[in-house]
Amino acid sequence: MATQAAPKSGFDKWKEGVDRAPGDARWNIWDREIQSAVSDFNQHLATTPGYRPLDWRTIKAIIWVESGAGNPEWHIKPMQIGVVGDPGMDSLLYGNEGGNLILPPIWRERLTTVSVRTVPAHNIRAGVGYLLMRMAEYEYRSMPTADTTLYEVTVKPGDSLDKIARVNGSTTEVVARLNPAAAILQTGQVLRVQRASTQRVISGWRPLSTALIFKRYNGGREATYVRKLEIVLEMQRNEK
C-alpha cells in the first residue's frame, strides 16, 4: 500500500514558488523602481550620524518574501504596507515616530493613504521608509531655527534662563551656550539669544540584519520570516 505524502507546509509551498523565481522576468519587474527609491533615501539620509547606504537588493529580498510574483497584489502592493490590519503605513505617514525625518521632502508630499495602497511605486517607497524609520535611533535636541540672528535681551528682576528662553522663542540650552558666563543672572545684564526649538533628530542607526528586519519591520508576526529572508538574500547574492 502506497504511503500518502505528508501535506506541504506553507513554507514548503513558498519555497517551491521562490525557487522558480531566478530567470523569471516577472520577479524582477520592480528592480528599477526599488533602485530609484533606495537612491532617494540614501541621498536624503547620507548626512545623518552613522548612516550606511541601504543595498537595494535588501528591499528586493523583502518584496520577494512579502509578496512575490505569484501573489495577487504583486502589481499593486508589492511591499504589503497598507494592507488591512497593518499599522505601518499610518505610523510612517501620520504618527510621531520619525517618519517626517526619514521621508525625502518630495515624498512627504506625494505619499498618501490612497496612493500607498494603489500605486506600486508609492507602496515601495512607503515600505522602504517604514523599514528605515524603524532602524533609526532618535533623540530630542535644542536646534537653532533658520533665523541665525543673535538678539540682545536685558535681564529683568525675576528672570531665569528658562524664562528668557521661553519669552524669546529659544531654548534654555541655546541661551546657556551663547552666554557661558551667565551662571548667576543679575538685573541689567545683557544676554545674547537666538531663536531655537527642541526638535526630534536622528542620532544614529541600528545595524541592519535579518533578525532586526524581522523584529522591527515584520513585527515578529511570521515565524519563518528570517529563514525566508536569508534564503532570498542568498539567491540575490548568487544572481548574475
- Identify whether residues 39 and 106 lie together within a single domain: yes
| In 119-156, alpha helices (H) | 120-135
- Identify whether residues 225 and 188 lie together within a single domain: no
d(CA 98, CA 80): 21
Burial of 164 (0-12, 13-18, 19+ CB in 10 A): buried
Per-residue pLDDT of the chain (240 residues; tens, 9 = 90+): 555 656 778 898 899 999 999 889 999 999 999 999 999 999 999 999 999 999 999 999 999 999 999 899 999 999 999 998 889 999 999 988 999 999 999 999 999 999 999 999 999 999 999 999 999 999 998 888 888 899 999 999 999 999 999 999 999 999 999 999 888 999 999 999 999 988 899 999 999 999 999 999 998 888 999 999 999 999 988 875
Q: What is the pLDDT of residues 7-31, one digit of tens each?
A: 778 898 899 999 999 889 999 999 9
The answer to the question of residue 82 being in a domain is yes
- Identify whether residues 122 and 207 lie together within a single domain: yes
pTM: 0.84
Any residues with CB less than 8 A from the CB of 135 and at least 6 apart, and which?
205, 206, 208, 212, 216
- Identify whether residues 130 and 229 lie together within a single domain: yes
- Identify whether residues 205 and 187 lie together within a single domain: no
- Identify whether residues 180 and 64 lie together within a single domain: no
d(CA 216, CA 227): 16
- Identify whether residues 42 and 101 lie together within a single domain: yes
- Identify whether residues 70 and 170 lie together within a single domain: no
The answer to the question of residue 13 being in a domain is no
Return the CATH number at 152.
Answer: 3.10.350.10
Any residues with CB less than 8 A from the CB of 173 and at least 6 apart, and which?
142, 196
The answer to the question of residue 17 being in a domain is no
Q: What is the mean pLDDT of the chain?
A: 92
- Identify whether residues 87 and 60 lie together within a single domain: yes
The answer to the question of residue 136 being in a domain is yes
Q: Determine the structural domain holding residue 158 and report its residue range.
A: 148-194
The answer to the question of residue 9 being in a domain is no
Question: What is the number of domains present in the chain?
Answer: 2
- Identify whether residues 166 and 59 lie together within a single domain: no
